[in-house]
Amino acid sequence: MASALTLSELFDPDFLAALQPFSLHARRVARAGRPAEQTSRDRGFGLEFADFKSYVPGDDLRAIDWNIYRRLGRLFVRVFEERRDLPVYLLVDRSSSMYLEDPPRINAGLRVALALASIALGQHDSVGLYSFSGVLNIDAKAAAGKHQLVSFAERLALLDERDRTDLTGTLGELAGHRLRRGLLVVISDFFDPAGADEVAQALALCRHRLLLVQLVKKTDADPTLHADLHGDLRLLDCESGDAVDLTVTPATLARYRESYREFNERLTRFATDYDAGFVRIDGDEDVLDQLGGLFETGSLVV
Amino acid sequence: MSFANLPLLGVLAGIAGIAALLFLLQLLRIRHVEVAVPTTLFWREAAREAPVRILRGVFRHPLAYLLVLAICTLLWLAFAGPEAHEDRTSAYRVLFLDGSAHTAGGDDFERAVDKLKADLAGLPEGRREVIWGGARNIKLLKAGEDRLLLDRRLASLAAEAAPSALNEQLRLLSVPGVAPAALEFVVYGRAPAEFAVIERLPTGTRLSRAIDYPDGESNHGIAALGVNPAASGRWDRLDLLIRIAGTPDAVVGDDMTVEVGGQPLGDDRLERLGDGLALVRDLAADGREVEVRLEASDELALDNTARLTLPTRRAVRVALADDLDPAIRHAIEADPGLTITDEDASVAIRVRGAAAFSGLPALEFAPAADQATAFEIDYTGNDSAELALRASVAALGLDQIDAAGLAAEAQRPVGVQLRQAELPGISVWDELLAHYNFTGSRSFPLFVSRAVRWLAGEPAWHPYLAAGRPIPTATVWSLAADADPSLDALGADYVLGAAGTVSSDRGDEAVALLSEAVTERRLGTPLLASQAGGDFAGTGIVTWLILAALLLLGAEWYLYQRGLMP
Q: Give the chain B residue whose CA is nearest to the CA of A97.
A: B38
- The answer on pLDDT for A281 being more than 90 is yes
The sign one gets for the Cα dihedral B552, B554, B557, B563 is: negative
Closest CA to B337 of B314, B358, B320: B314
In angstroms, the separation between the Cα of residue B58 and the nearest Cα of chain A is: 11
Q: Give the chain B residue whose CA is nearest to the CA of A244.
A: B44
Contact: B33, A236; criterion CB under 8 Å: no
| Chain A residues within 8 A of B47 when measuring between CB atoms | 244-246, 252
How confident is the model over A253-274, as a mean pLDDT?
A: 93
Quick one: fold of B88-216+521-536? Rossmann fold (3.40.50)
Q: What is the pLDDT of residue A177?
A: 85
Q: Report how far residue A162's alpha carbon sits from residue A132's, in angstroms, rounded to the nearest whole number.
A: 8
- The answer on pLDDT for B408 being more than 90 is no
pLDDT band at A29, cuts 50/70/90? low
pLDDT band at B484, cuts 50/70/90? very low
Q: What is the pLDDT of residue B536?
A: 42
How confident is the model over B163-185, as a mean pLDDT?
A: 84
Instruction: Note whether B44 contacts A: Cβ–Cβ < 8 A.
Output: yes
Instruction: Note whether A245 contacts B: Cβ–Cβ < 8 A.
Output: yes
| Chain B residues within 8 A of A255 when measuring between CB atoms | 45-46, 49-50
| Chain B residues within 8 A of A237 when measuring between CB atoms | 36-37, 39-40
Mean pLDDT, chain B, whole residue set = 81
Instruction: Note whether A231 contacts B: Cβ–Cβ < 8 A.
Output: yes
- Give residue A186's identity as a one-letter amino acid code: V
The CATH code belonging to domain A7-31+86-301 is 3.40.50.410
How confident is the model over B378-384, as a mean pLDDT?
A: 82
Cα radius of gyration (chain B)? 38
**Triad A286, A287, A289: Cα angle to 5°:** 75
Phi and psi torsions of B58, nearest 5°? -60, -45
Measured CA to CA in angstroms, residue B542 lies from A141, B89, B201, B434, B474 at distances of 81, 22, 21, 84, 55
Q: What is the pLDDT of residue B490?
A: 47
- Give residue A235's identity as a one-letter amino acid code: L
Residue A233's SS3 state is strand
| Chain B residues within 8 A of A244 when measuring between CB atoms | 40, 43-44, 47
Measured CA to CA in angstroms, residue A187 lies from A87, A112, A210, A277 at distances of 16, 8, 11, 12
Taking only the tens place, the pLDDT of each residue in A201-242 is 999 988 898 999 999 999 999 999 988 888 778 899 998 888
pLDDT band at B281, cuts 50/70/90? very high
Using CB atoms within 10 Å of the CB of residue B566, give its burial: 0 to 12 exposed, 13 to 18 middle, 19+ buried: buried
pLDDT band at B389, cuts 50/70/90? confident
In angstroms, the separation between the Cα of residue B65 and the nearest Cα of chain A is: 18
Q: What is the pLDDT of residue B535?
A: 44
- Are B345 and B321 within 8 A, CB to CB? no
Question: Smallest Cβ distance to B50: which of A235, A238, A252?
Answer: A252
Taking only the tens place, the pLDDT of each residue in A169-209 is 999 888 888 888 889 999 999 999 999 999 999 999 888 98
**Helices A148-158 and A105-122, interaxial angle, to 10°?**
160
| Chain B residues within 8 A of A243 when measuring between CB atoms | 34, 40
Using CB atoms within 10 Å of the CB of residue A296, give its burial: 0 to 12 exposed, 13 to 18 middle, 19+ buried: exposed
- Give residue A6's identity as a one-letter amino acid code: T
Domain range annotation of chain B: 2-84+540-561, 88-216+521-536, 219-313+461-518, 316-456
